[in-house]
């Protein structure tokens, strides 16, 4: 039997929180009855600086439901950082943590299989989406494209896995040693090691509330997912530079031949075109290098990842 902690980040989740809490309570009762988890297992809702009354709801759930704990972050730090805050807060009070979004779009019945796989000796169990019925077409396509792009860039991430996963205490302990500031957990966790396994996850529709992942948040996550783990974009710039050199050499040969044969055509359009082309390539190159320099800038600052304002913990 393990003492389980479920960590669930919440950002403006007024509409879905109470419902999710009761679904998790039912799951806990079931798992306790089956002898899979201890009675002092808990759910930790992490309020990621919501503007609505999410924290008030968590507080009242805490007052009435002994499995509910709460962690209130001082401001909105984003999904990845809220997950980290929750995991680090929970790790010393349990044998393992499952992270799941508080809209419970993931298949929470898979948590039982995660526990079985932990008992069988796995330290990390990834929920892998086998069906994305609940996701919009746009989300499905963008996610698939992103996962492909990421693996072509050599990033070692689990295909079709988001942040629904189980981690044992020692895996969490290992994660706590990562000093980086740009968090992309799906890329970091596979680098920990230990025995890992996967379970099937079916995504259902959000039962209430709207997606809190705005396009800009999604793009930022995707950019972190590549630039934090792969230097391939810089290699692409290098390859482009080499290609440009080849083109320039070809032009040189052409000019030489035209001069020798007397068929020289003085035209400014080709000149302008190449100027613009080279200008664009250089700008793109600088942009990509800038992304890395930007990251270094953030890393050297070593700011705290999050600041906890309050915590409500049943012992
Ligand atoms: N979330 C968060 N901070 C944010 C944005 C989202 O903690 O700044 C949480 C949100 O409450 C939810 C999870 O991250 O529990 C995933 O968000 P959402 O379900 O809106 O994303 P989607 O499932 O549409 O990708
Ligand atoms: Mg969701």
pLDDT per position as a tens digit, 16-51: 999 999 999 999 999 999 999 999 999 999 999 999
Ligand approaching nearest to the C-alpha of 75? 1
Ligand approaching nearest to the C-alpha of 58? 1
Runs of H (alpha helix) within the chain: 17-33, 54-64, 79-90, 110-119, 137-152, 169-175, 185-188, 215-227, 232-261, 268-301
Distance CA 20, CA 112 (A): 17
Ligand 1 center to residue 79 CA distance, Å? 6
Mean of the pLDDT values across residues 225-245? 81
Ligand 1 center to residue 181 CA distance, Å? 20
Tokens found for residue 38: 């201890």
pLDDT band per the 50, 70, 90 thresholds, residue 75: very high
The reported pTM is: 0.86
Which residue ranges have their beta carbon within 6 Å of ligand 1? 9-11, 13, 48, 76, 78-79, 82, 101-103, 105, 211-213
Q: CA of 228: how far to CAs of 165, 185, 222, 283, in Å?
A: 21, 11, 10, 21
Q: Which of 50, 58, 103 to mutate to test the pocket of ligand 1 (most atoms within 8 A of CB)?
A: 103
Q: Kindly tell me if the per-residue pLDDT of 270 is higher than 80.
A: no
Ligand approaching nearest to the C-alpha of 84? 1
Which residue, judged by its Cα, is nearest atom 12 of ligand 1?
101
Ligand 1 center to residue 154 CA distance, Å? 27
The ligand 1 atom nearest the CA atom of 218: 25
Distance CA 8, CA 2 (A): 19
Q: Is 299 exposed, middle or buried (CB count within 10 Å of its CB: 0-12, 13-18, 19+)?
A: middle
Ligand 1 center to residue 238 CA distance, Å? 37
- The three-class DSSP label of residue 182 is coil
Mean of the pLDDT values across residues 99-119? 96
More confident residue, 216 or 315: 216
Spatial CB neighbours of 260, under 8 Å, sequence gap ≥ 6? none
Q: Which of 101, 133, 207, 218 to mutate to test the pocket of ligand 1 (most atoms within 8 A of CB)?
A: 101
Q: Which of 79, 82, 162 to mutate to test the pocket of ligand 1 (most atoms within 8 A of CB)?
A: 79
The ligand 1 atom nearest the CA atom of 105: 23
Q: Kindly tell me if the per-residue pLDDT of 57 is higher than 90.
A: yes
* 142-198 pLDDT, tens digit each: 888 988 988 888 888 898 999 999 999 999 999 999 888 889 999 999 989 899 999
pLDDT band per the 50, 70, 90 thresholds, residue 273: low
């Amino acid at each position: 039997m393990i003492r389980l902690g479920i960590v669930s980040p919440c950002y403006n989740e007024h509409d879905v929180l109470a419902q999710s809490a009761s679904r998790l309570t039912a799951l806990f009762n079931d798992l306790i009855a089956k002898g899979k988890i201890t009675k002092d297992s808990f759910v930790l809702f992490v309020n990621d600086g919501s503007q609505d009354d999410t924290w008030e709801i968590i507080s009242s759930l805490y007052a009435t439901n002994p499995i509910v704990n709460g962690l209130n972050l001082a401001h909105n730090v984003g999904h990845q950082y809220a997950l980290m805050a929750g995991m680090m807060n929970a790790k010393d009070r349990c044998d393992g943590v499952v992270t799941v979004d508080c809209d419970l779009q993931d298949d929470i019945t898979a948590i039982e299989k995660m526990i079985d796989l932990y008992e069988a000796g796995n330290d990390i169990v990834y929920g892998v989406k086998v069906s994305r019925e609940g996701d919009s077409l746009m989300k499905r396509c963008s996610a698939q494209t992103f996962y492909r792009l990421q693996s072509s860039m050599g990033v070692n991430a689990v295909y079709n896995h988001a942040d629904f996963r189980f981690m044992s205490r020692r895996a969490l302990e290992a994660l706590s040693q990562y000093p980086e500031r740009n968090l992309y957990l799906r890329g970091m966790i596979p680098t920990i090691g230990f025995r890992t396994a996967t379970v099937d996850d079916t995504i259902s529709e959000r039962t209430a509330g709207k997606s809190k992942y705005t396009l800009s948040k999604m793009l930022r996550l995707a950019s972190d997912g590549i630039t934090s783990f792969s230097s391939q974009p810089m290699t692409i710039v290098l390859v482009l530079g080499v290609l440009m050199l080849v083109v320039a050499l070809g032009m040189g040969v052409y000019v030489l031949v035209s001069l020798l044969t007397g068929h020289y055509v003085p035209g400014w359009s080709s000149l302008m075109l190449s100027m613009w082309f080279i200008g664009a390539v250089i700008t793109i190159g600088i942009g990509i290098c800038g992304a890395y320099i930007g990251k270094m800038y953030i890393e050297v600052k070593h700011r705290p990842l999050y600041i906890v304002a309050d915590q409500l913990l049943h012992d």
